Structure 1
């Protein structure tokens, strides 16, 4: 059996999956100030009366890091950036504690100018004086030669809680995106560390000794202990769980828009013939464009528990969540309160909901029912407008699925799949306000946890080779090798696939069912005078995202029993 657990900003969903389908499901309230109690409560309920020996693995996903970024609730982070001549690092400033330092590596990995040790020590002193505990270090061509980043990290020593080196968090060339990726790793590290410790302590207390994995934004998973050095890999694990939870039930012959409407955010994605779209460049969240490989998803700060206000006669929904709906004892009115007043949903204290919406109605100069209608309709229209904008952005560039490039394809989804706690309620409004068919995913309230549980292990490798210098390297993997001048692109592909296989198995992949593929392979001649002096080779390989081998019987049983 498999445990799938999704920690959201509002609720934590836990499922137990077996060949008979969904064996058990539980939902507990997320307490961000005590994640240990939240996770332990969910695990205790889901495993009650179950022999731990029967549990094969646990896969977790979380929207905690995503919510912190969307709500701009991240700690101050120190950044040390070296670039050398050319591009100005100030263009990519991440915040007030951002320092450009001396030192440069060229595009082939050769040192152009050394770092200034005294300058690094001075920056470190300023960080400590400002109370900075998390630091990111990025050198422009560190994926070709990580020497400067390593040296700066050694100079910083153990004076900070965590230091992230750019070449270890992202192996691809793209200086601006590697800065953002390193910054976000440092930014979300505290909340991820807290989550990591809560889960580990919960399982230990429960006596569960099973492989623990965490969902990544590309729809695959990785070993949980490996995630502590790559916390940004959890940034969109919640949306990825939504996508994977819909993949198992999506039609295989049409395009679908997926909407996971939670308490704090709505996560959006697109499926083409049952296959998720992939963002080949990397996550873009808020103002940050990264190298974190991901499914093509968008998160917006509108959910069932988003705070609703009236400012100058205009309704504002989110992006913050201040607690549950007033119907459930929360402090401010929310779209959920409006839904209850319109008779679309059930549960909670109707009078408390009325009390909250009444204040908004007074500010709008209307009655309670009209105010509730306007709140609910604005929430639905906002979600649909953001979905349309996402599709337009996707159509403005080549469309990639996790399996192939659809050159020239233009997306026109006419089918919406909705999941998340308030899915059945929002589905009515979304269908009324759009021209699309709207369906609720089976087991919509725990579909994200199901998606996490069924996802396979994925990873990727980027290999660089310079036959003139006779060096091959994959810095993110800690791999460097001496090669001959006759080393070819095919040799690089063989090396990359070998590294990928070992990495995937090390992260928990099933060695009998690995789907490896080359994402990109390029080779350029280096010419001096009239002679070719060598080749510059780059190869990118991945394990295809998807669901675990043999998931179909589980999904079929879930569909059969989804309304019982």
Structure 2
């Protein structure tokens, strides 16, 4: 048996699964510190299922801890950005384009040093130890506790980043060091941004992972702990400590993977309606379609793996204003059970509209009997139009698309979306996010630049596939279960030597013992 938990802005959902059978599911309010909400969810799950904690083989958690810390600009370590690229890259220093409040939050300092490579692997300039020594001395003097190292075209050749990390690590014991070639993709500024964010979250990651482990242990569970990643796969706690940015989109990704599991559809549009937002994305081969361009997180451009998800400010807790009519984007969030009309509050929300329309049985329906039926009808119509427009924006063709609605707020989605088609709402849809976490697989990815000579294409693809499979197995996937789930080849006509970007993703079932 395994437990899946997903922490949302309004609710923390938990499920107990044995194979493909959902034994129990619970939905509790998310708490401000998040961790105590997870403890409440585990207690509620045990009360619902009556299971022996010792029988749990693994706990999978999708958490908002890290993205919330960045958005709110809190708990971020003072961070230095060391860029290897001189004499090039002077024009735009590290953290260019960042919101000023976040630069202040990380006490951001930049250091430009010689190094870097060209796209074909040639050295721009040799690495200079004396520059790194001076940077280390200033970093120590300023009390910075995290370092992000980025080198030009390090995804092609990571030699200088690795060497710089060895030098800085020896000079700055105890300082967290993040390397860009392990985090982002092509595109120096976006990859560098992602690396600075990851470094700044390093100390928080250590505390949160320890806290999550303690919370699970306090529930009597002695089993491995995994966190959900942006691409729909799992990572162990050690990996999460090193790469907290890998959790940023775990919420919508868990919901999409849960939708695939519950509906049996590997290619469809998923509409996940929570208490605060509605996330809409496309599944391809059972995994979220990944964004092909940079992604902005808290106003910072990044390019690490993220699902291509459209979020709109519409959920069960969204405020409804009547003069003029406006739905969201603000929400009462986890205060729904205190502030919504059906719970004795004084705020009109989408949940109140759903109860008044007979779409949901939540709270006390008598408290919304006085709502104008015409208002209820207009709000429902407006919600359907907004969701239908979002699906239309994310789908990649005009062909009929299967739409799967999940999430506690999916009661708001009409049975048919104009211009899209009928909506499938599977059993256990309200906790699809936790189910997605519990059933997630282990993945491995290869993303590289190659010079493809005559007759070399098949060999290079086979090598990339074998490496991706090997990475998945090394991360904990059962060897016989690993499959290639995505292959991309992008010829780069503007570069010499038949340069091609090859990306291969593999995924397999997690091996659990006990």
Q: Which moved more, 1:220-229 or 1:286-295?
A: 286-295
Q: 1:136 to 1:518 in 2, by over 3 A?
A: same
Once residues 19 and 260 of structure 1 are traced to their aligned partners in structure 2, the CA distance between those partners, rounded to angstroms, is 24
Residue 51 (structure 1) aligns with: 52
1:427 counterpart = 2:428? no
Once residues 372 and 111 of structure 2 are traced to their aligned partners in structure 1, the CA distance between those partners, rounded to angstroms, is 55
Superposed CA offset, 1:252-303 (max 9, x none): 59x632111011221211246x644522636724555533334432333332
The total of aligned residue pairs comes to 483
Once residues 351 and 387 of structure 2 are traced to their aligned partners in structure 1, the CA distance between those partners, rounded to angstroms, is 15
Once residues 147 and 189 of structure 1 are traced to their aligned partners in structure 2, the CA distance between those partners, rounded to angstroms, is 22
Superposed CA offset, 1:322-355 (max 9, x none): 542213477854322343344443322568779x
Once residues 10 and 277 of structure 2 are traced to their aligned partners in structure 1, the CA distance between those partners, rounded to angstroms, is 10
Map 1:24-35; keep pairs closer than 5 Å.
24-33=24-33, 35=34
Superposed CA offset, 1:142-175 (max 9, x none): 3313435526743872575x442212323x4321
Once residues 265 and 358 of structure 2 are traced to their aligned partners in structure 1, the CA distance between those partners, rounded to angstroms, is 35
Once residues 350 and 133 of structure 1 are traced to their aligned partners in structure 2, the CA distance between those partners, rounded to angstroms, is 54
RMSD between aligned residues = 4.3
Q: 1:252 to 1:495 in 2, by over 3 A?
A: closer
Residue 437 (structure 1) aligns with: 422
Instruction: Give 1:501 deviation, angstroms.
Output: 4.2
Instruction: Give 1:188 deviation, angstroms.
Output: 5.3
Q: Which runs of 5+ in 1 are unaligned?
A: 359-366, 396-409, 468-487, 550-564
Q: 1:516 to 1:388 in 2, by over 3 A?
A: closer
Contact 1:306–1:321 (CA under 8 A) maintained in structure 2: yes
Residue 120 (structure 1) aligns with: 135
Contact 2:483–2:507 (CA under 8 A) maintained in structure 1: yes
Q: Which moved more, 1:101-110 or 1:505-514?
A: 101-110
Residue 235 (structure 1) aligns with: 248
Once residues 483 and 354 of structure 2 are traced to their aligned partners in structure 1, the CA distance between those partners, rounded to angstroms, is 45
* TM-score normalised per structure 1: 0.71
Contact 1:26–1:42 (CA under 8 A) maintained in structure 2: yes
Once residues 444 and 164 of structure 1 are traced to their aligned partners in structure 2, the CA distance between those partners, rounded to angstroms, is 38
1:247 counterpart = 2:271? no
Contact 2:10–2:333 (CA under 8 A) maintained in structure 1: no
Residue 284 (structure 1) aligns with: 295
Q: 1:389 to 1:20 in 2, by over 3 A?
A: closer
Contact 2:15–2:25 (CA under 8 A) maintained in structure 1: yes
Superposed CA offset, 1:375-428 (max 9, x none): 55544433333333333xxx4xxxxxxxxxxxxxx253444221111212x123
SS of 1:503's partner is helix
Q: 1:103 to 1:377 in 2, by over 3 A?
A: farther
Map 1:461-500; keep pairs closer than 5 Å.
461-462=446-447, 496=464, 499-500=467-468
Contact 1:284–1:290 (CA under 8 A) maintained in structure 2: yes
Contact 1:418–1:439 (CA under 8 A) maintained in structure 2: yes
Once residues 331 and 197 of structure 2 are traced to their aligned partners in structure 1, the CA distance between those partners, rounded to angstroms, is 20
Map 1:174-193; keep pairs closer than 5 Å.
174-186=187-199, 189=202, 192-193=205-206
Residue 304 (structure 1) aligns with: 316
Q: 1:187 to 1:32 in 2, by over 3 A?
A: farther
Q: Which moved more, 1:19-28 or 1:313-322?
A: 313-322
Contact 2:67–2:245 (CA under 8 A) maintained in structure 1: no
Contact 1:259–1:416 (CA under 8 A) maintained in structure 2: yes
Once residues 501 and 268 of structure 2 are traced to their aligned partners in structure 1, the CA distance between those partners, rounded to angstroms, is 35
Once residues 185 and 330 of structure 1 are traced to their aligned partners in structure 2, the CA distance between those partners, rounded to angstroms, is 40
SS of 2:38's partner is helix
Contact 1:497–1:516 (CA under 8 A) maintained in structure 2: yes
Superposed CA offset, 1:100-153 (max 9, x none): 52323122252515453476257636864xxx7655332223331343552674
Contact 1:300–1:319 (CA under 8 A) maintained in structure 2: no
Residue 221 (structure 1) aligns with: 234
Residue 35 (structure 2) aligns with: 36
Instruction: Give 1:26 deviation, angstroms.
Output: 1.8
Contact 1:242–1:419 (CA under 8 A) maintained in structure 2: yes
Among residues 73, 94, 97, which one is paired with 2:98 in the alignment? 94
Residue 560 (structure 1) aligns with: none
Q: 1:242 to 1:188 in 2, by over 3 A?
A: farther
Once residues 120 and 225 of structure 1 are traced to their aligned partners in structure 2, the CA distance between those partners, rounded to angstroms, is 28
Superposed CA offset, 1:415-450 (max 9, x none): 4221111212x123x737665212212211112212
* TM-score normalised per structure 2: 0.77
Residue 447 (structure 1) aligns with: 432
Residue 152 (structure 2) aligns with: 140
Q: 1:423 to 1:187 in 2, by over 3 A?
A: farther
Instruction: Give 1:208 deviation, angstroms.
Output: 2.1
Q: 1:110 to 1:523 in 2, by over 3 A?
A: farther
Contact 1:239–1:260 (CA under 8 A) maintained in structure 2: yes
Q: 1:433 to 1:250 in 2, by over 3 A?
A: same
Q: 1:263 to 1:197 in 2, by over 3 A?
A: farther
Q: Which runs of 5+ in 2 are unaligned?
A: none
1:543 counterpart = 2:511? no
Once residues 68 and 373 of structure 1 are traced to their aligned partners in structure 2, the CA distance between those partners, rounded to angstroms, is 38
Residue 324 (structure 1) aligns with: 335
Once residues 341 and 158 of structure 1 are traced to their aligned partners in structure 2, the CA distance between those partners, rounded to angstroms, is 61
Once residues 140 and 522 of structure 1 are traced to their aligned partners in structure 2, the CA distance between those partners, rounded to angstroms, is 20
Q: 1:54 to 1:119 in 2, by over 3 A?
A: same
